Structures are given as C-alpha cells and as structure tokens.
Amino acid sequence: MSALLTVENLRVRYPTRTGVIEAVRGVSFTLGRERLGIVGESGSGKSQTGRAIMGLTQSHGIVSADRLDFAGMDLLAASPSQRRALRGKRIAMILQDPKYSLDPVMTIGRQICETLRTHEKVTKAEARERAFDMLEAVQIRDPKRVFDLHPHEVSGGMGQRVMIAMMVIAGPELLIADEPTSALDVTVQLEVLGIMDKLVAERGMGLIFVSHDLRLVSSFCDRVIVMYAGRIVEEIAASELANAKHPYTQGLLNCMPQIGESRHPLPVLDRKPEWLS
C-alpha cells in the first residue's frame, strides 16, 4: 500500500534577532490510513510539525524538507493556491485552540456551510442538511438551535466539537488533530475520539493525533512518535508504549499520575544533550 503522507527530513526554523529558533529539526515518518500519535513535552515541535504539513506555518517561519508528499502530490512544489485548495477538502487540521479557528461574528451553521460550499458544489439547502447531520454526528444534541448560535454562545467543549464538524464535513483523507480533546471532560473526550475513530474506520482517513496524554494515545492510536526538542527520539507501536526503551519516553511515562499513588517527591523529566544527535 502506498503511503498517504511521506515526510522526510522536515525542518521548521524561525529567524529572530538573537538567532534562529529550530522548532522542527529533521522529522521523518510515513502515514497510511491509520492513527498515528505524536507525543512529547511542551515545545517539542508537535504543533509546528502539523502546521508545516498543513501549510500553515506562521509567515516568518522557514519550512524545508527532502520530501513532503501527500497522496502522490509533492506539497513542496505546490503553489499557495493549490495548498489552499487541499486544506479543508483533503487535509484538515483541528488547531490546538479552536477559539482562533471559529469566526466570532458568524453563526456556527453559516461557518460549517461555507466550509462545505467552498469545496463542493451543493445548494444552500443541501449544505444546511449536511451541517445538521454533521452536528448530530459530533453529539450536538440540538443541531437546529446550535446552527444559529455564535461561537461565544456555546461551551468550550461544544466549540471544539463544532470545529471538528467543520473540519471533517468535506471528508478529508488526512486529519491532523492537535490536542483536540484536552479542553474536554472525559465523557465528551470519549465521544470526540469515537467520532474520529469512525472516520478512520469508515472512510479510511489517516489521522495524526497530537496529545500530551500518553495513556490516551497508547489506547487510541496504532503507532506513536515521541518528539523531543524538534526531533523524533522514538517510534513505537502504541500497544508497546508502556515498554518504551528510550529514557525520554520512559521519563514521560513516569510523569503520568496514577490514582492513589503517593507523589512525593514529584518525578522530574530527564533531558540529556546526547538525545539530540
């Protein structure tokens, strides 16, 4: 089976007055129609990797790679308008903070319909029906009412589910979900994971799931990439995560709280310079 996404030696740099910040430093992986988790401490380059694949690196960032292919298409050679056409339609990303992705002055329904109508030729009435169905699919209980609300009129968790509805309505082949459930309580979290799982199983979508939560990733994903300081230090089957060999991964695992366990002293995450080479 050919890969849906091939990333080879991806780098993202930000020149600043005091030097160059290397956010991503030579990341390589391939993705099929599967669930790939990306874990790693804050600032390790998870979001920057996702954004670079999406073509959403902040304007002063410099992206380079030996290869960045999506479904047989060379993303590095694609024009800005070709990349824009891919976004939302074939590749979608749920951003870490949905507040920045929803337009505060437009109703939720209109935003979802417009997303659909920029990618598919559907009538207004069809778009409306599809939006209702999608809102229902993300467990919004009263889709017709929520359709007419503005983003500030729904809860954070509902906002996040609305974002997911908007991102998947055009049926992307690849979904990059950056901490999509970290603001949700556990029951809603499970609903949202269930929706994404269904999309992978039923539509054969590829999923990149970025999370801090190693336990969640090990139960939800097929494979896991562990990032440290802009690099991949370990790639492992999700079911094997508990037996990870790399000391950094072991450190992340040790920092996960266990119910009923005494946390004195608190574990400290080891960081060694030799892991960078």
Number of other residues whose CB lies within 10 A of the CB of residue 172 = 23
Angle of the 124-137 helix axis to the 156-168 helix axis, nearest 10: 130
- CB burial of 179-208 (b: ≥16 within 10 Å; e: otherwise) equals bbbebbeeebbeebbebbeebbeeeebbbb
Which C-beta is closer to Mg ion: that of 96 or that of 101? 96
* Beta-bridge partner residues of 64: 11
Chain centroid to Cα 186, Å, comes to 18
Is residue 58 a contact residue for ligand ATP (CB under 6 A)?
A: yes
Is residue 55 a contact residue for ligand ATP (CB under 6 A)?
A: no
Q: Determine how β-strand 223-228 pairs with β-strand 35-39.
A: parallel
Nearest in space to 71 (alpha carbons), one of 6, 150, 126 = 6
Query: Would you say 267 and 254 are in contact if contact means Cβ atoms under 8 Å apart?
Result: yes
Which C-beta is closer to Mg ion: that of 74 or that of 97? 97
CB proximity list for 103: less than 8 A, separation 6 or greater: 111, 151
Give me the residue label for tokens 């999700």: 238
Is residue 231 a contact residue for ligand ATP (CB under 6 A)?
A: no
Which C-beta is closer to ligand ATP: that of 21 or that of 242? 21
Which of 44, 101, 139, 249 is close enough to bind ligand ATP by CB under 6 A?
Answer: 44
Which C-beta is closer to ligand ATP: that of 88 or that of 230? 230
Is residue 204 a contact residue for ligand ATP (CB under 6 A)?
A: no
Is residue 48 a contact residue for ligand ATP (CB under 6 A)?
A: yes
Give contact residues for Mg ion (rule: CB under 5 A).
47, 96
Work out what residue 14 binds among ligand ATP, Mg ion, none; the CB cut-off runs from 5 to 8 Å by kind. ligand ATP
Which of 11, 35, 46, 231 is close enough to bind ligand ATP by CB under 6 A?
Answer: 46
Contact map string, positions 81 to 120, toward ligand ATP, x by CB under 6 A: ---------------x------------------------
Is residue 262 a contact residue for ligand ATP (CB under 6 A)?
A: no
Residues in contact with ligand ATP by CB under 6 A are 14, 21, 23, 40, 42-48, 58, 96, 212
